[in-house]
Every structure is written in structure tokens, then in C-alpha cells.
Amino acid sequence: MFKFVKASAILLAGLLFTGAAVAQTKVAVVNIQAAIMSTEKASSKINALKTSSEYSQLQNSAESIRAEVQKMAEDAQKNGVTWSDEKKAEHQRKMNFKRSDFETAVKKLRAMEGQAVQDLQKDLLPKAKSALEEVIKERKLDLVLDANSAVYAGTSANLTEELVKRLNAAK
């Protein structure tokens, strides 16, 4: 009986100390990629890309090809019943080529966007890490988690907006 009481007392004391330690732990979350992409520099770079002549031409080309494929599909649906098997096969082949051209144009657009994002990450990631370290020291945080991994984080525990403000101010 005495051993049970002693073990219970030790367990209770351990729980109390653990609860006190947890209550003092300061935890926050941050989404560094979202912070980087929310900066003025990122917005400017993405806008510059989307208004560049190369990107605009490629985007217009993709849209034109998409419209052609759609028109060809409508034509096939409307008139396909009167076409010979050879004509149907030829039309399908042309549509497949156009779809391939469209997919290639879209891949090029995504590659251009991806390169812009990589350039931003390369440029701003060291600055973001430095700014985050400053916030961690100022707030005396014990643990910072990736916001994408957190199930819940209140607005005061999310450092992403503060990180964006600091990155914008740093220029």
C-alpha cells in the first residue's frame, strides 16, 4: 500500500512539473514559402513575368490553340456522323496534335513561372530565415513549426504575416 501511495505521489508530481513546463513553452507556426510569395518583391516579379512579351505571346498562343481544339471538337460532334472513318481518324489526329501543342505551351508557361518562383526563393530564403530568427529571439519562442503541418494555430501564433512585413521592410 505504501509503495502505491509513493508511486502515485511521484507520478502526480511529475505530471504537475510537466504541465508547468508545457505551459511555459512558447510555440508558433510559419509558412516561409507563403511569406516569400506574399512579399512586394514577389508580386512585382510575378507581375513582370506575366506582362513580359514572351510570356504574353505564349499565353495567347495557348489560348488560341485551346480555342481551336474546342472548335474542332464542336465540329466533330456536329458533323462527325456524316464523316467517313478516314475523315474521322484524320480529324482526331489533328485534334491530338493541337492538344499536344496546347500542353507544350502550358508546360512552358508553368516552367517560366516555376523558374521565377525558384529565383525568388533563392534570393529571399536567406533573408526570410534571418528575419525569422529575429522574430524567434524577440518573442523568445521555444518551438516554431511549419504552418502546413499544424492542425490549428491562432492568429497570434502564426508568424507568416510578420515575416512578410519584415521582408518588405528589408528590401
Structural domain that includes position 93: 2-170
Nearest CA among 120, 150, 114 for reference residue 37 = 120
CB-neighbour burial class of residue 158 (10 A; exposed 0-12, middle 13-18, buried 19+): middle
Q: Into how many domains does the chain fold?
A: 1
Per-residue pLDDT tens for 32-52? 999 999 999 999 999 999 999
pLDDT > 90? residue 92: yes
Share of the chain above pLDDT 90, in %: 76
Residue 44 grid coordinates: 512585382
